[in-house]
Amino acid sequence: MPTNAKCACVLTACMTQGCTDLSSALMISSMLLIFAWPTDYPGFVHFHDWDGGFVDLQQALKLPDGSQLPVGLSKDYCALDSICDTFGGYAQDGRYIRQMNVNQSTDMYLAFNSSVIAGTAICKMEGPGCGTQDTWLACENDCFTPLTTFALPPDLLHSSCVENPSCIGFLVFNDGTHGTLFAKSGAAAGWFSLPTGKQSKRLYA
């Protein structure tokens, strides 16, 4: 059972059986807000429990002749691994195989549809590699530049991003109190396994 479902069960028990005081109910209610913001926004991919960061699992992988691993082969390589869910790297540096951070305090939204934002989305949907089924969000950058942090709820962070020509995505804290808008960076291109694929299994199994 997902962690947030466990919390929901605890809260239900509290409401049906009675809590000793109001502070207990408020404490349990606040626990629900820690685990993944529930709202999806059109034109944005919603990554639950992600803070936008990652760790390198393998660095500078290249073909035997020294050239970059093709994107399709990199997708298959990552998809066949039990923990890889993102990769990137400049051609001259080789491919970096990575795992996205798990942070239950935050959710990340990245725009893939330029028609819903004032600027231009730097990410797009892509299909799987040659021999696997994972689908991907392909982005011009594998990390993003913070624009500004606001003490605003997620809906207002979303509208702030949509109205800002430099904004390509945003992060929300799952207590609903604040978050950060992001702009494109000068980093290499990156690919992120979509939440319908391996990432959802890793985060919610």
19-66 residue pLDDT tens: 334 344 334 344 444 456 899 999 999 999 999 999 999 999 999 999
Which of the pair, 148 or 1, is modelled with greater confidence? 148
User: Could you tell me whether strands 169-173 and 106-111 are parallel, antiparallel, or unpaired per DSSP bridges?
Assistant: antiparallel
Distance CA 46, CA 170 (A): 10
pLDDT surpassing 60 at residue 200: no
Which of the pair, 159 or 16, is modelled with greater confidence? 159
pTM of the model: 0.80
Which of the pair, 178 or 33, is modelled with greater confidence? 178
Which of the pair, 148 or 32, is modelled with greater confidence? 148
pLDDT surpassing 60 at residue 16: no
pLDDT at position 100, please?
96
CA angle 90, 95, 108 (to 5 degrees): 80
Of 1-15, 34-48, 136-150, 175-189, the one with minimum mean pLDDT is: 1-15
pLDDT at position 39, please?
94
Distance CA 43, CA 157 (A): 15
pLDDT at position 158, please?
98
Average pLDDT over residues 99-125: 96
pLDDT surpassing 50 at residue 17: no
92-to-54, 66, 76, 139, 172 alpha-carbon distances in Å:
21, 9, 21, 18, 34
- Cβ contact 24:14 at 8 Å: yes
Distance CA 190, CA 137 (A): 8
Torsion angle, alpha carbons of 48, 50, 51, 52, to 10: -110
pLDDT at position 195, please?
76
- Cβ contact 105:114 at 8 Å: no
